[in-house]
Amino acid sequence: MVSVGTIIWLSSELMFFAALFAAYFTIRAVSPELWAQETALLNVPFATANTAILVASSFACQWGVFAAERGQAGRTGSLLNFSKWGLREWFILTYVMGAIFIGGQALEYAELVHEGLTMSSSAYGSMFYLTTGFHGLHVTGGLIAFLFVLGRTYLARRFTHEQAVTAIVVSYYWHFVDVVWIGLFFTIYVIK
């Protein structure tokens, strides 16, 4: 039931982001010259690297899920032997990558504000910060969920099926956030 509920909730989140995409494309269609001017401020190579980190985190998350499905909460070998990692190690790596992504987004915001692109400076600024900002809030929510899952695995005496289901459900959310970012990345940074 938890999985079904999460999928239904993610469907509502998909509608939320669809509305943001619709607003972005609508405002872009009304003032294309503004888009040409403002997108020149974007640091596409930096955003590409930041995107690669977030996408890689999705793979780490999924390997954590595979470990959870095996009932392996922690590593069974050395720290450098990735094939022996458990849920905890993969989810910690995912958390670190997600935190790096958020840090990169904050750095990008600081640079754009320094260039004069703010939420109130133009329609482009409003849509850029709304779409990427709401996504950033969702990534932050995912990071909090990873802390919750990790905390449960460290506090529990033994790893249970319920903890595995929690890890799987958190992975659904994380993969969703990654897919949404891929759409945002191509919409904002690639499609000029």
Tell me the residue range of the domain where 179 lies: 2-190
pTM: 0.90
pLDDT < 70 positions in the chain: 1-3
Q: Is 144 exposed, middle or buried (0-12, 13-18, 19+ CB in 10 A)?
A: exposed
pLDDT digits (tens, 9 = 90+) for 150-161: 998 888 777 878
Q: What is the pLDDT of residue 73?
A: 79
- Cα–Cα distances (Å) from 84 to 75, 109, 152, 160, 170, in that order, read 5, 38, 21, 19, 22
What CATH number is associated with residue 57? 1.20.120.80
How many folded domains does the chain comprise?
Answer: 1
pLDDT of residue 2: 67
